[in-house]
Structure 1
Amino acid sequence: MITKQVWLKTILAIFLSICIAFYVNQFFKSISEQVGVVVASENIPAQTQITSNMLKTVQVRAEDRSLLVPNAFTDIQAAVGMVTLTPLKAGEVVISEADKLVLPNESVSGIPSENKALPKAFFIPPDQRAISLKVDAEGTLGFSLNAGDKVDVIFTSTNGEMGGIYSKTILKNITIFDIKTISEKDRESSSNLILQNVTLLVSPEEAQLLALSKRKGKIDFILTPLNPDSQDWDLTKPTYPQEIYEKEIINR
């Protein structure tokens, strides 16, 4: 006759066997589970834009990847186009971290990030150029403009060489690429000698127009709204001094 104690031992043995089988199965499963990890196929210098031929995928244990390099890229195409901030050695795992890689155009309108290690040239779209202008407080809305703002550009001729005195909108909806910070002391100053460097993103043809304009007159920026109306302003018609006197008062 089988005693109660024998039954308990039998049940316990079966339970332990099941547990051991489960953990052994999990162990072998973790060994067999592998994932692809992106590594450098060659030495990649700092400040280099990554291409697909610079990378390759190697297989590693999923557990090792989770423990050692959880931020590693698993898809080559996800890393293509990014720029290295530090060198990568051949065979080194490519990690998605802000102090190692940056995507040039990840910021709105291609505006450079706070990371100063990356040259600004990486943030300029291929069909555009960056050009700087020195503008006073009146022309920059009291030094209140910021990188990423959209502005229209008004040129004011102050001499006969450019056809007399007039003002004319020469460019519309231009992105401010970078802008020099003005101290609070300078902001409060009434001096017209304080100028702010403003860098714009424009086409090569527009850059030529600005290069001449900033040397032959005065530049003002007017801030555009987030959602400007669809009205197509006539940029060819300048405003002359006599129009100030002839203009009728507009009630709003």
Structure 2
Amino acid sequence: MLAKISWRFILILLSGGAIAFFTYQYLDSLQQTETIIVAEGDIPEQTEITEEMLTTITVEAQSADLLISDRVVEIDQIVGAITREDISEGQPMQMDPEMIVFQEQRAEFMTDDGRIDRSSFIPDEIRLYTLALEPHASVDNSLESGDYVDVLFTGEEQETGQSYSRMIIQYAEVYEVESFDESALGNLAKDSMVQHITLMVSPQESVALANAKSAGELSLVLNSSQGEQEDVDIIYESTMEN
């Protein structure tokens, strides 16, 4: 009887000790912290990272391990690297090749004169296509690189001679926009100014643009959506008259 009681007592002591130990380990882990490197402010894509763009914050070590994989440990690891995408203020910096071009690859993304080569960031499946458009067809010359646009085609039916318009491309990114020196333009009327706008499109879309440009007129409309595709009907001249 005494032996049974003794073994029970020992088991209770061992269980209590184990619970106390693991509780201590857990509470101790909550008190442990780590320093992580984050963006001091918003860092645009295709930007060389400088030390001034980075800062450090202290977080629970357990949270850092769970939420941030492959995090940057030393600031020197990414100073001089180039961003592949926009990085938001406070976003942890990671050793992620989808996010950053690291120093060992940097030369592939630079021009001979030391500038960042934007064309190096164009995906293999994308083509650049340039349109020359007057203000009424290019959102009044207000487009900027990084905007998204839809492309409209206006042509004429051969059989009826009736004009029509249809949307041939949706949500194309503007790669580059020709800028003007207004002081050098003098008295030139804005309506007559042709601006060159380069779009990022697929190979098939580039063929569609070339065909449409030779068959009629093209115009751009600003698309401020998040890329949702819409079903857009063809509009005929007779439809507008009714």
The equivalent residue for 2:239 is 243
Q: Is the 8 A contact 2:133 2:219 kept in 1?
A: yes
Question: SS in structure 1 opposite 2:173?
Answer: strand
How much has 1:193 moved relative to structure 2?
3.9
Q: Is the 8 A contact 2:128 2:199 kept in 1?
A: yes
- The alpha carbon displacement at 1:201 in A equals 0.3
CA positional deviation for 1:137:
0.6
Percent identical pairs in the alignment equals 25
Structure 1 contact 150–223 (Cα < 8 Å) conserved: yes
Instruction: Tell me the equivalent position of 2:120.
Output: 122
Partners in 1 of 2:191 and 2:237 — Cα distance?
23
Aligned pair count reads: 149
Structure 1 stretches lacking a partner, 5+ long: 1-69, 88-98, 101-114, 247-252
User: How far did 1:216 drift?
Assistant: 1.4
Cα deviation, residue 125, structure 1 = 0.9
Partner of 2:224: 225
Report the secondary structure of 2:140's partner residue: coil
Residue 193 of structure 2 is matched in structure 1 by: 194
Instruction: Report the equivalent of 2:203.
Output: 204
Task: Render the CA deviation track for 1:174-225: whole Å, top value 9, x for unaligned.
Answer: 0001111133365984465421111100100000000111121111111011
Q: Which residue of 1 aligns with 2:17?
A: none
Q: Decide whether aligned partners of structure 1 residues 196 and 81 sit closer, same or farther in structure 2, where only a CA change above 3 A counts.
A: same
Q: Is the 8 A contact 1:131 1:199 kept in 2?
A: yes
Partner of 1:83: 107
Instruction: Please tell me whether Structure 1 or Structure 2 has the larger radius of gyration of its CA atoms.
Output: 1
Distance of aligned partners of 1:123 and 1:155 in 2 relative to their CA distance in 1, 3 Å threshold: same
Moved over 4 A (4+): 70-73, 161-164, 185-189
SS of the residue corresponding to residue 122 of structure 1 reads helix
Within-5 A mapping of 1:33-44: none
Written as runs of structure 1 = structure 2, the 5 A alignment for 1:82-121 is 82-84=106-108, 85=110, 115=115, 118=117, 120-121=118-119
TM-score (norm 2): 0.51
